[in-house]
Structure 1
Amino acid sequence: VPRDIASRQAKNMCDEGRGVGPAIKERDPNGNERMMRRGVYLDFSEAIGRLGRDAVSARYGNLFEMYQRITGDDPYEVPMRIYPAVHYTMGGLWVDYDLESNVPGLYIAGEANFSDHGANRLGASALMQGLADGYFVLPDTMNDYLADMLRLGKVDPNAPEIAEAKRSVEERVARLMALRGSRSVDDFHMALGRIMWEYCGMERRDAGLRDAIKQIRALKEEFWRDARITGQADELNQALEKAGRLLDFFELAELMCIDALHRRESCGGHFRAESQTPEGEALRHDDEFLYVAAWEWGGENRPPILHKEDLVYKDIELKQRSYK
């Protein structure tokens, strides 16, 4: 079966309490402690018997060697213990054909933008986009912007826009440094990760996504009540840096869930449990969702704004994926 189907089933088996390996105490997204065995067996014995060890080694020898070095187990002799892990986050920031964002002068290069390979996120595709953007696009498009900047002269450090930006950053830093709660930034980061893994990971459901949005908002409120930022603001402070990034993660996580809730189909890495074939394949609804969803920040505590960019296919026939 395709690896996304296999990965979902591996997680389902562990969630049902049928996992293998050491039991690990952890908290579920609701904060309850539970014992989990995160692993299933991948048994190559049938394939080795059918194809021969040399044929399997030619295909997977490097993988088998790495596994044996890490675990001490020989996967040619005993089953491998595996569990799915987070891979790429698909999508990216909106850009025009010059790779300039909706903020003038801010260019988004490589897999951080949504363009040519942005819906794919395979390793080679991500590399190709970085190469294409860096070698062929930006050297020409950024020059146009920089040439216009030369005519503007020096920026006044006392300009009201600069003063406002500085004041805003100082207020945010002061608010963060005033936090003297009981939980570390890393603890909140892990809690957010658990929510995303359970409800906006390999498989998404309507009810789960709605619950996730509520939990993310509640966790963000809890952060401002009970987070602890150590160190000083005027020194190298990783706790402060992590806190600033975590606040961005809260916004991004909520937006990902909103977007996943909006797209009531399965497509690519986005799998809605309500939209699948009898074989468990992703079931697209091209009549409703044949567009790129570009979300605009709507302001503090306001919903994001959806912009649709239609996908138009002239030379390629759209077909449902099938491994049969």
Structure 2
Amino acid sequence: MKLDSKIPDGPLAEKWYKHKFNLKLVNPANKRKYDIIVVGTGLAGASAAASLAELGYNVKAFCFQDSPRRAHSIAAQGGINAAKNYQNDGDSVFRLFYDTIKGGDFRAREANVYRLAEVSVNIIDQCVAQGVPFAREYGGLLSNRSFGGSQVSRTFYAAGQTGQQLLLGAYSALSRQVATGKVQMFTRTEMLDVVIIDGKARGIVTRNLVTGKIESHAAHAVLLCTGGYGNVFYLSTNAMGSNVTAAWRAHKKGAFFGNPCFTQIHPTCIPVSGDHQSKLTLMSESLRNDGRVWVPKDSNDKRKAQDIPEEDRDYFLERKYPSFGNLVPRDIASRSAKEVCDQGRGVGASGLAVYLDFADAIKRDGRKKIEERYGNLFDMYQQITGENPYETPMRIYPAVHYTMGGLWVDYNLMTTVPGLYALGEANFSDHGANRLGASALMQGLADGYFVIPYTIGDYLAGMPPTKISTDHPEFKKAEEDVKNQINKILSINGNKTVDQFHKEMGKIMWDYCGMARNAEGLKFAKKRMQEIREEFWSNVKVTGTNEELNITLEKALRVADFLELGELMIDDAAHREESCGGHFREEYQTPEGEAERNDEKFAYVAAWEYKGANQPEVLHKEELLFENVKLTKRSYK
């Protein structure tokens, strides 16, 4: 199969504008004849469902939480990027485009990234109109802060809870459509399969998480807005329910998976404190605006942070990257923190932490100003660690946070399965090998509010509005497959818990396919993952039944998918013999220890095709063309 990205012809700045004009339209009176399924109700899903219903389509929206308000989008703290140039500091749509391409280490499509930068300005207007309480300057203008990978201030924020406030805006729009009857909302419902009829996505099979009932839902198109797969590592900053199941089941039905090994490690997370943990906590990247990152110069220096004088401190990011300092991109900051800890200069009981120090900022701006900017984040840190960050530096260490990989989509956000779309973090399209901070919220809302409402019409306009019955044999077959898997997993009655398998798998993934990778380690990891998967299907213990609320069963089904995904991530990392962004192969680095790309061989999107159980997946390549930026060595020095 030849991948067709459907990128429009013409100058970069005109592609989206002209493409919108050339897309087919659906008559307003006909829109009410079409049904659309939206799986996931975070920023991408809620904005898409609300926008499509507003246009007149009939929408069914699904989430496994008890309310769309509990989607993981609420956990995004720091802000959302937009090329408004309110600071008059040299920002522009093209600069945001360039910063994103460069930040992703030149492994993203130019056309998609430029469109993202272009519609970013509309997102802010939309959210302000919804009442999102963005921070404002004294005169009433919207305020901006800086984020990693940029030398301008373009990040709009609502204290340290930007994601929550943006989601409330999207949720209000969604709720309005629920009230009008244009959106049917299904909470506590998880998608377990996508139904393909005549080569097109025509519905999904779900499980009611309270009663266990297996049901089918038919539609003319299906949108997956189900987030990323960071929990394959077990410990991550993701909500514990975040999973890959919807995307993975779609992958097994024909949707190619793009760049699965491109995962993001966030540099400012509260360090692991013990084996008891099942989740890690993010400290917003916005803190690096005022916090300075350092470790002792001497690995034997065990004094308290306050007792170590300036001359004995190594502000290593400021030393290595003077142009960007503490605001280098996340992949670079994370690897630098790992490097000093590997040298034995890490702090805290584990030695796997560095300091994030606000003493200079408090001295410069006063404690009250720092409280205004980061008060809720400081409170959260103190509640978790018992330490007061106003008086002693925070301790931080990198952790899994986001996944740039996801289902392959074309310019219209359609996967390789006609009628099946992927939005937000569920797709691969906009961030290359490393996402810049404050760009996840931007992409989710761009896809939901400003892209899919245009592009889905082009597909539906060529499709008769004839409805399909869930009595169709393909729905019955999909239901039966889901029931068989559930019965199989319940019948094993082994000796190891689901969490034991998940934790064991996560450690393998973190140790060998995490911040640093090499050929030998990946080969070992592949073998171990196969062994863990084999043992899982013979020795996992899942108590209870399907006909009830059964959280252990939910976890087991998700971990089964993670085990398969993990192997594909390892294969992808092994085949990509270069270092780029968050994919750092130790064999491919510069003398200074920076990532060394191989543009001649690997300037492409790796799109993997599922070929059946226990069969190797087939690699397809979408070559990346750079006509508006020059492929250069990424430098933040």
TM-score if structure 2 supplies the norm length? Answer: 0.44
Residue 287 in 1 paired to residue 614 in 2? no
Higher strand share: 2
> Is contact 1:38–1:83 with CA below 8 Å preserved after alignment?
no
Query: In the alignment, which residue of structure 1 is the partner of 2:544?
Result: 231
The letter for the 2-side match of 1:186 is: D
Q: Distance in 1 between matches of 2:411 and 2:557?
A: 31
The residue matched to 2:607 in structure 1 has which SS?
Answer: strand
What are the Cα deviations for residues 219-270 of structure 1, in whole angstroms up to 9, with x where unaligned?
Answer: 0011112100111112222211211111111111111110010101110111
> Structure 1 residues 43, 131: closer, same or farther in 2, change over 3 A?
closer
The letter for the 1-side match of 2:335 is: R
Query: In the alignment, which residue of structure 2 is the partner of 1:301?
Result: 614
Using CA pairs under 8 Å that are at least 6 residues apart, name the structure with larger relative contact order, 1 or 2. Answer: 2
Query: In the alignment, which residue of structure 1 is the partner of 2:364?
Result: 54
The letter for the 2-side match of 1:207 is: E
> Structure 1 residues 145, 155: closer, same or farther in 2, change over 3 A?
farther
The offset of 1:14, in angstroms, is 5.8
The letter for the 2-side match of 1:192 is: M
The letter for the 2-side match of 1:92 is: G
The residue matched to 2:422 in structure 1 has which SS?
Answer: coil
- Number of residues paired by the alignment? 306
The offset of 1:185, in angstroms, is 0.9
The letter for the 1-side match of 2:436 is: L
Query: In the alignment, which residue of structure 2 is the partner of 1:32?
Result: none
Query: In the alignment, which residue of structure 1 is the partner of 2:534?
Result: 221
1:63-102 to 2 correspondences below 5 Å? 67-68=381-382, 70-75=384-389, 77-102=391-416
Query: In the alignment, which residue of structure 2 is the partner of 1:112?
Result: 426
The offset of 1:281, in angstroms, is 0.8
What is the percent sequence identity of the aligned residues?
56
> Structure 1 residues 146, 234: closer, same or farther in 2, change over 3 A?
farther
Residue 263 in 1 paired to residue 590 in 2? no
Query: In the alignment, which residue of structure 2 is the partner of 1:31?
Result: none
> Is contact 2:578–2:597 with CA below 8 Å preserved after alignment?
yes
Query: In the alignment, which residue of structure 2 is the partner of 1:174?
Result: 487
- Gaps in structure 1 of 5+ consecutive residues: 23-36
Query: In the alignment, which residue of structure 2 is the partner of 1:7?
Result: 334
Q: Higher mean Cα deviation, 216-225 or 142-151?
A: 142-151
> Structure 1 residues 66, 239: closer, same or farther in 2, change over 3 A?
closer
What are the Cα deviations for residues 62-114 of structure 1, in whole angstroms up to 9, with x where unaligned?
Answer: 36665445434344654433222112122210112221212222111112111
Q: Distance in 1 between matches of 2:338 and 2:539?
A: 32
The residue matched to 1:143 in structure 2 has which SS?
Answer: helix
What are the Cα deviations for residues 17-48 of structure 1, in whole angstroms up to 9, with x where unaligned?
Answer: 875544xxxxxxxxxxxxxx253342749x84
Q: 1:240 aligns with which of 541, 553, 577?
A: 553
> Structure 1 residues 235, 118: closer, same or farther in 2, change over 3 A?
farther
Q: Distance in 1 between matches of 2:437 and 2:356?
A: 26
What are the Cα deviations for residues 159-189 of structure 1, in whole angstroms up to 9, with x where unaligned?
Answer: 3323322221221111011021111111111
> Is contact 2:498–2:556 with CA below 8 Å preserved after alignment?
yes
The offset of 1:211, in angstroms, is 0.8
> Structure 1 residues 55, 203: closer, same or farther in 2, change over 3 A?
farther
> Is contact 1:281–1:322 with CA below 8 Å preserved after alignment?
no
The residue matched to 1:164 in structure 2 has which SS?
Answer: helix
> Is contact 1:264–1:275 with CA below 8 Å preserved after alignment?
yes
- Gaps in structure 2 of 5+ consecutive residues: 1-316, 318-327
> Structure 1 residues 179, 122: closer, same or farther in 2, change over 3 A?
farther
Q: 1:249 aligns with which of 537, 562, 580?
A: 562
The letter for the 1-side match of 2:560 is: L
Query: In the alignment, which residue of structure 2 is the partner of 1:276?
Result: 589
Query: In the alignment, which residue of structure 1 is the partner of 2:21?
Result: none
> Is contact 2:403–2:425 with CA below 8 Å preserved after alignment?
no
Q: Distance in 2 between matches of 1:258 and 1:154?
A: 38
Q: Distance in 2 between matches of 1:173 and 1:316?
A: 50
Alignment RMSD, CA only? Answer: 2.8
Query: In the alignment, which residue of structure 1 is the partner of 2:499?
Result: 186
TM-score if structure 1 supplies the norm length? Answer: 0.83
Query: In the alignment, which residue of structure 2 is the partner of 1:163?
Result: 476
Q: Distance in 2 between matches of 1:68 and 1:153?
A: 55
Q: Distance in 2 between matches of 1:237 and 1:97?
A: 39
Q: Distance in 2 between matches of 1:74 and 1:91?
A: 37
Q: Distance in 2 between matches of 1:10 and 1:179?
A: 43
